[in-house]
Structure 1
Amino acid sequence: MLIGGWLSRQGDSLDEKVKAIVVCPKGVSVSRLMLSELRELFPEFIFLDSLSVREFQQYEFDYDIVFSPIFLETDKKLFIANSFLEREEKYQLKKQVMLELHGYIPFDINVEDLIGIVKKYAVIENESSLSKELQQYISQDDARFEKHKQHEVPAVNLSELITPNKITLKKSVFSWEEAIRMSAYPLVKSGHIETDYVNAMIHHCQKDPYIVIAPNTAIPHAAPEDGVNDVSMSLLKLDEGIKFAEEYEINIIIVIAAVDKNKHLRALMQLMQLVGSEEGRRTIIGATTSEEIYSVIKNYSV
C-alpha cells in the first residue's frame, strides 16, 4: 500500500500491472534463476518474490498469478513452468499466459506460405535471406519484440541506485530538516537532484502519510518537477533516531527521486522487501560503515 501510494503520485499504478510470484522447491539459486528468466520473458509483469513452498503457504502480499514447476493449491492463476526453460518452452509458456490473461494466442504464420504469395507478385532476389528475416519478424524474438525492448527504459536494482557513495552514516542530527538535507546531499553533489527538490521534500514531509514506511524508516520525496534530473536514491543512517511527527523515531532516511514511471519500479519493490524485514533494518542500524549497509542492500537486489 505504501509503495503503491508513492507510485500513484508519480503517475504509475500497481493495480494496472499483473503481479506475479515464483514458487520453486529446488533451492534459492534455482529459484532466483527461474525468477530472472521469467522477468525477461514477461517484462510487463511485476515479479514480487521468489518463494519456497513453505513461504508461499504463508505469503500475505496480494498477487495475480503464480509460476511454479510443481502443482500448488491456489485460487490464483497457476502456470506450470520448468525451472530451466528451453526456447520452445518459453514460446509455449508465453502463448499460454497470453491466452489465459488476454484471451488470445498469437497467430502462427508459415514463412514458406508467405514467400509463395510474394512470388506471385514480385521477383525475390534472395529467398533465403528473405525467409530468415521474415522468420525473425514473426517469432517470439522477432524484430517487433526487440524494437519494443530497445525502447523500454531498463529497470534498475536497488544496489545500482544506493551505492556506497550515496550512503551517509552519522551519530545524530539536531532536526528532521537537517536529516533530510544530510541524506540528500550526495544526490545534490552528483547533480541527480537540485536543492529545490530538497526544499520541496522538507515542505511536504509533515503532511505526507506515506513518508514513514516501516519502523525506524522514512522515505522523504517530492514531485519530479520539483528538481529531479535523474532517477536516484540515497540513504542516511543515524545511530540516535530523530523524532518525526512526535510519533516516530527514525534511524534510516532514504531519499527517493524519480523522473520515469518504470525505471525505479524494481528498486522500489526491492526497497519494500528490505525495510519490511526486521533483520534487514536492524543490520543497517547497527552498521558502522557504508560498505556494511551496501552489503545488506545487495542481498535484497535480486
Structure 2
Amino acid sequence: FGTDYDLVFTTTALNSELPQFIIDPIMTYKQQISLRYRVLKELGLNEVDRSVDELFSVIRTYAQVNDTKQLREELEYFLLKQKQDSPLENFKALPSLTDYLKPDFIRRTSEKLTWQQAVKFACHPLLEDQMITELFIQDCLDQIEEQGYAGYLGSQTCIPHTAPQNGVLKDGISLLIAAEPIAFPNGKKIHFIYPLSFYDLTKHLKAVNQLADISNDSTFLNRLKESSDTKTAYQLIRQVT
C-alpha cells in the first residue's frame, strides 16, 4: 500500500518491518481482550501492567500460585474487561444462527453435483424468499473461482457471502447438506454450504461464531450428514446453538 501505517492486523504473517498482530478471522471476547492488551502494551499505552503486578503481589502473599503465567493472563483479562466501555461480547442480545436459518431454508442432496450447481442449489431458498438477487449468486461464484478464496470454515463447510450492495436484500442463511462430497476449486471436499445473506452487518457476529464452532466439530457434522431429513437437521443445529 502507498499509505503509511504504524501497525498491521493480519490473519497471516506479512513481510513487513512494522509491528504486526496475527489474529483469527473470528475471535472470542477473551481473544479480543487479549489482542487489546497486546496492542496497548506494544504501543506503551497500557496502565494495566502496574495493576497486575500489584494484584499479583497481594495474591502471592496470601495464596499458593500453581500457574503464575495463567494467573497473570486472567488478571489482565479481568482488568481490561472492567475497563471496557462497551463490551464486545453481548451475545445474548444478538440473533443466533437459527434466527437466520429457517427449517425450510435447508436442502439435502445425494446427487453428484459440481460446485457451481451446489452453490446455486444452496442459494435457491434465499432467492425464492426474496432475500437475495441473482447478483448475489453470481458474485459468490466469481469469488470462489478466485485464487486464495477464504470462504471456508473447517474442512467440510463453505460459506458463500458478499457485500450488501451485491444483491443482498434481507438477512438470512440457507444450508445445503450434500451426502456426496463436492469438489471445490481449492481441492476441498465440501459437504455443507451455508450462503450468508447479511444486510445488517452489526448483528451477525453470534451466528457466525456458532457456525464456526459447529463447522469444526467432526462428531456433530457426522450427525448432521446422517440426519434423516431437513427437520431433523434443523433440530440438531438448534440444540447446539
TM-score (norm 1): 0.52
- Is 1:168–1:290's contact at 8 Å kept on the other side of the alignment? yes
Counterpart pick for 1:247 among 163, 174, 187: 187
- Is 2:144–2:185's contact at 8 Å kept on the other side of the alignment? no
Q: Which protein shows a greater Rg?
A: 1
Residue 167, structure 1, aligned to residue 106, structure 2: yes
Which residue of structure 1 aligns with residue 53 of structure 2?
A: none
Residue 176, structure 1, aligned to residue 115, structure 2: yes
Map 1:1-302; keep pairs closer than 5 Å.
19-20=29-30, 73-78=70-75, 99-101=82-84, 155-207=94-146, 208-245=148-185, 247-301=187-241
- CA gap of 1:98–1:246, structure 2 versus 1, over 3 A, is closer
Task: Classify the secondary structure of the residue corresponding to 2:195.
Answer: strand
- Is 2:156–2:215's contact at 8 Å kept on the other side of the alignment? no
- Tell me which amino acid in the other structure corresponds to 1:283: R
Runs of 4+ residues deviating >6 angstroms: none
The alpha carbon displacement at 1:248 in A equals 1.5
The alpha carbon displacement at 1:284 in A equals 1.3
Task: Classify the secondary structure of the residue corresponding to 1:224.
Answer: coil
Deviations 1:237-271 (A, max 9, x none): 11111111261211111111112222111000011
The alpha carbon displacement at 1:98 in A equals 6.4
- CA gap of 1:215–1:98, structure 2 versus 1, over 3 A, is closer
Find the aligned partners of 1:166 and 1:192 in 2 and give their Cα distance. 11
- CA gap of 1:245–1:75, structure 2 versus 1, over 3 A, is farther
Which residue of structure 2 aligns with residue 24 of structure 1?
A: none
- CA gap of 1:75–1:209, structure 2 versus 1, over 3 A, is farther
Task: Classify the secondary structure of the residue corresponding to 2:30.
Answer: strand
- CA gap of 1:171–1:262, structure 2 versus 1, over 3 A, is same
Q: In the comparison of the two structures, how many residue pairs are matched?
A: 180
Deviations 1:131-151 (A, max 9, x none): xxxxxxxxxxxxxx9xxxxxx
The alpha carbon displacement at 1:155 in A equals 1.9
- CA gap of 1:78–1:161, structure 2 versus 1, over 3 A, is farther
Note the aligned Cα RMSD (angstroms). 3.3
- Tell me which amino acid in the other structure corresponds to 2:30: A
Structure 1, gaps ≥5 residues long? 6-12, 22-44, 47-70, 81-92, 103-144, 146-153
- CA gap of 1:181–1:79, structure 2 versus 1, over 3 A, is same
Structure ranking higher on relative contact order (CA contacts 8 Å, 6+ apart) = 2
- CA gap of 1:99–1:202, structure 2 versus 1, over 3 A, is closer
Percentage of identical aligned residues: 20
- CA gap of 1:78–1:300, structure 2 versus 1, over 3 A, is farther
Find the aligned partners of 1:280 and 1:176 in 2 and give their Cα distance. 23
- CA gap of 1:18–1:166, structure 2 versus 1, over 3 A, is closer
- Is 1:235–1:252's contact at 8 Å kept on the other side of the alignment? yes
TM-score (norm 2): 0.64
